[in-house]
Structure 1
Amino acid sequence: MMVRPKVRIQREPFDAAAEARALTAGRTDIGAVVTFTGICRGSDDGRAVAALTLEHYPGMAEAEIERHVAEAEARWALLGVTVVHRHGRLVPGDDIVLVVTASSHRGDAFAAAEFLMDWLKTKAPFWKKEEAGEGTGWVEAKADDDAAATRWAPPGDPAAGGA
């Protein structure tokens, strides 16, 4: 039984363990739960980071995340998904994003969590401004993140390097 996915964008901190418990409460069909929490780092490529401010377009961001959760559900045998993404000013050590996937077997839960995180990292409609010692600036996309995300493109898709 697939539980309706939960997608939230919020300023407030989240409790990863409570979110996982809520997803599995009363369920005996779930054999695997994968959780990933992205945390604000205090440095990036050797530069000190004082804070990260995340902005989004309300309504559109949730809809885009829900669309990719639906794609994950179509690709893997999932029994539940929760995605929580924070916005606003975050300092090093603050949790930024949570992905929880549940399935009967670990392979589907791991693959779906990786897929969702690769998509969130590269394509989710969030804008990140970094406060560092040398000033404030918008965070550019990273080639290695884009490369990681291409593995999920359908065969023959130019994004996957196919024909």
Structure 2
Amino acid sequence: MPVRVQTEDFDLSAEVAALRARNPKVGAVACFVGTVRDLNDGSTVETMELEHYPGMTEKSLEAIVVNARERWPGIEVLIVHRVGKLYPLDQIVLVATTAAHRGDAFASCEFVMDYLKTQAPFWKKERTGSGERWVDARVADDAALARWGIDSGNQSQE
């Protein structure tokens, strides 16, 4: 299953090349790379620490891939998500999809990221000048998932 949770950084170019090589019918590749911002909710972010539940997190990500493949048959999906201590500008997550045509590549990539953002069991803790705080899912993340016909079940904040 094309899902990895790791502490080390990833090479976008190498990851996409490997994904493309799996299917000679690929006509389109869509990628999303999430990075650590230096500012969140009005506070300067010094570090972000991502925690996960090993085994459960990978199963959750694999379920997202299965769901995407059911919606867009023929796509390939890659999810690489980092955990541990990260700094502003560090890469957090890579979602890449391939398809025969761009519409399916774009849509499936966006779907996987929207789904992952609210449903994958990751916990984020930011260190700011005022101390540490846990980061909750946002209403906007729930709304992004809802447009795919999925209820996040979260009681998010703005």
Q: Specify the code of the residue in structure 2 equivalent to 1:25.
A: A
Trace 1:125-140 onto structure 2 (pairs within 5 A).
Answer: 125-140=121-136
More displaced, 66-75 or 20-29?
20-29
Offset at 1:79?
A: 3.2
Inter-partner Cα distance in structure 2 for 1:82 and 1:37: 12
Q: Give the corresponding residue for 2:89.
A: 93
User: 1:102 aligns to what?
Assistant: 98
TM-score, normalised to structure 2, is 0.91
Shift of 1:140: 1.5
Query: How far apart in 2 are the matches of 1:121 and 1:140?
Result: 10
CA distance in 2, matches of 1:85, 1:158: 20
Paired with 2:152 and 2:76, the residues of 1 have a C-alpha distance of 31
| Corresponding letter in the other structure for 1:92 | P
What are the equivalent positions in structure 2 for 1:17-32 lying under 5 Å apart? 17-25=13-21, 27-32=23-28
Q: Secondary structure at the match of 2:120?
A: coil
- Taking the aligned partners of 2:84 and 2:145, their CA distance within structure 1 comes to 25
- SS class of match (2:110): helix
Alignment TM-score, normalising by the size of structure 1: 0.88
1:13-162 pair list within 5 angstroms = 13-25=9-21, 27-153=23-149
Change in 2 beyond 3 A, CA 1:118/1:158: closer
Matched-pair contact (CA < 8 Å) for 2:124–2:135: yes
**What are the ranges of 5 or more consecutive residues in structure 1 without an aligned counterpart?**
none
Query: Structure 2, unaligned stretches of length 5 or more?
Result: 154-158
Aligned residues: 153
Aligned to 1:9: 5
Query: How far 1:84 sits from its partner (Å)?
Result: 0.2
State the distance in 2 between where 1:121 and 1:110 align: 17
Q: Is the 8 A contact 1:30 1:104 kept in 2?
A: yes
In 2, Cα distance between the equivalents of 1:88 and 1:153?
A: 32
Deviations 1:30-58 (A, max 9, x none): 00000110000100133100011000000
Q: What SS does structure 1 have at the residue aligned with 2:124?
A: strand
Cα distance, 1:98 vs. partner? 0.2
SS class of match (1:78) = coil
Q: What is the Cα-based RMSD across aligned positions, in Å?
A: 1.7
Kindly provide the amino acid, as one letter, of the partner of residue 16 in structure 2: A
Distance 2:72 2:142 in 1: 22
